[in-house]
């Protein structure tokens, strides 16, 4: 049995802002099939504390970055959790990373340094009779963990997963003392980045192995365009860098048993869900495909490109039902476009149950991202026979088989990819989509292909287990 500690800032079903939470919630169960016992160290946000019942107190901290704290052990949805209950850091109104206006919390450096420091202490001392063989950090919020491990003399291997390299967790160098970091290690070889403390860089430098969430994204990160300042470090660590594509929870996302929809096992069963989805979004019948999009509304996700390309879809009989929130300017632009087009309906916000109904009722799931480390919505789409139309980047390139003439001839296509990632290219993809949708035989074959794709965690969990096993063996 391999004991592994996840250090992570969000975990479904307790708290979620994106795909990171889904990974943290689903991967432990998949790893258990390989003899890996995972405990997930998670901040005790207000929303988390409301869902954990009466946990066991397993450690106390007198002064953790400005206040007392407790470490709580409990189990939720089959996940073994260690909750860092530090009210002065996590018990507040607003979102987990920022306030109600969308601004980052000014003490985010301390909030997530606390998480990292407790992770390091667990590695050093164990907790409640349990000691990790591997510490596995996720994104910048866990990046300082190896620094604190180093300060404590801990040699437990640290694995670092990059879910999105765009966020560095940088803070002013004046915070060195407040964060309890060694000033002698504030160098370009360690966690100094252009005069600032970089939590992400600390994780990249301190990790025994680094991985990201698709093979294509791992290769993209080695370039200045996608590496966002960290490409040089990653090129230097290329021998320790790998790409392991994410999976999805096949029980939660299962069209045959999903309680949110009219269940189905084949593409023909989507018809009832499509009718229901049109009613939910106030859309009438149409000759073209019903596209859906569930996303943060940002330029990274290509929403501005979508706005420019929409006429190629809507003026030829296609429809779009959209659920998301994000950049206020994009929200307003989408709502204004919906006022002008009867075949476009927009709901601002997020609704987990509705996202399931959209996967079941849509013909096509749109993912026009400028970059996408892995992406999960296209995997949900494949599972539900909702064909992905995606940009050719990152995990979208690795998980969708483009409907090229060769792939169609071999009968293996599962969706549509477009490149370059421009509004015109997306508009061209909508034209291709119309042609495919109007060929009902080809369309049904693609839907069947999609629903057969392996989108679970089996292969990826085995790859993570290999990393753990090799690190433990090398340690001796």
Tokens at 466, concatenated: 């290999």
Measure Cα distances from 20 to 45, 233, 264, 303, 374 in Å: 16, 23, 28, 21, 10
- Residue 368 has phi, psi (to 5 degrees) of -90, 35
| CA–CA gap between residue 388 and residue 23 (Å, rounded) | 20
Q: Which residue has the tokens 């508009």?
A: 427
CA 396 to chain centroid: 13
User: Any binding-site annotation on 444?
Assistant: no
| CA–CA gap between residue 341 and residue 319 (Å, rounded) | 9
Residues annotated in the binding site, as ranges?
Answer: 16
Residues annotated in the binding site for ADP-alpha-D-glucose, as ranges?
Answer: 16
């Amino acid at each position: 049995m391999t004991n592994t500690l996840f250090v992570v800032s969000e975990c479904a079903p307790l708290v979620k802002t994106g795909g990171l939470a889904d990974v943290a919630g689903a991967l432990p169960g998949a790893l258990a099939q390989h003899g890996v016992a995972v405990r997930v160290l998670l901040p005790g946000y207000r929303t988390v504390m409301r869902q954990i019942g009466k946990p066991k107190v397993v450690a106390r901290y007198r002064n953790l970055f400005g206040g007392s704290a407790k470490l709580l052990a409990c189990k939720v949805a089959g996940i073994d959790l260690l909750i860092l209950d530090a009210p002065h850091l996590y018990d507040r109104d607003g979102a987990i990373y920022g306030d109600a206006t969308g601004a980052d919390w000014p003490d985010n450096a301390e909030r997530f340094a606390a998480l990292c420091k407790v992770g390091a202490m667990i590695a050093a001392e164990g907790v409640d009779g349990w000691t990790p063989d591997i510490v596995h950090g996720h994104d910048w919020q866990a990046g300082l963990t190896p620094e604190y491990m180093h300060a404590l003399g801990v040699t437990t291997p640290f694995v670092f997963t990059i879910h999105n390299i765009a966020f560095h967790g940088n803070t002013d160098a004046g915070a060195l003392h407040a964060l309890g970091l060694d000033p002698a290690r504030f160098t370009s070889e360690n966690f100094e980045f252009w005069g600032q403390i970089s939590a992400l860089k600390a994780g990249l430098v301190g990790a025994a192995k680094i991985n990201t969430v698709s093979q294509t994204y791992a290769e993209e990160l080695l370039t200045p365009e996608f590496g966002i300042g960290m490409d040089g470090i990653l090129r230097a660590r290329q021998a320790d860098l790998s790409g392991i594509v994410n999976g999805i929870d096949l029980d939660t996302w299962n069209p045959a048993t999903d309680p949110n929809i009219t269940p189905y096992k084949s593409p023909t069963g989507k018809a009832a869900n499509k009718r229901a989805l049109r009613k939910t979004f106030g859309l009438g019948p149409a000759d073209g495909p019903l596209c859906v999009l569930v996303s943060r509304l940002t330029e990274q996700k290509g929403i501005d490109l979508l706005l420019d390309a929409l006429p190629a879809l809507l003026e030829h009989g296609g429809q779009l039902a959209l659920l998301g929130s994000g950049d206020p300017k994009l929200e307003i632009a989408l709502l204004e476009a919906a006022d002008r087009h009867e075949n476009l309906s927009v709901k601002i916000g997020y609704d987990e149950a509705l996202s399931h109904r959209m996967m079941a009722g849509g013909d096509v799931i749109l993912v026009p991202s400028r970059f996408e480390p892995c992406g999960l919505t296209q995997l949900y789409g494949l599972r539900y026979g909702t064909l992905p139309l995606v940009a050719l980047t990152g995990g979208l390139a690795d998980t969708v088989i483009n409907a090229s003439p060769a792939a169609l001839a071999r009968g293996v296509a599962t969706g549509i990819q477009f490149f370059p990632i421009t509004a015109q290219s997306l508009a061209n993809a909508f034209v291709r989509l119309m042609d495919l949708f109007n060929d009902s035989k080809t369309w049904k074959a693609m839907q069947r292909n999609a629903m057969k794709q392996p989108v679970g965690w089996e292969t990826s969990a085995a790859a993570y287990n290999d990393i753990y096993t090799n690190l433990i063996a090398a340690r001796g």
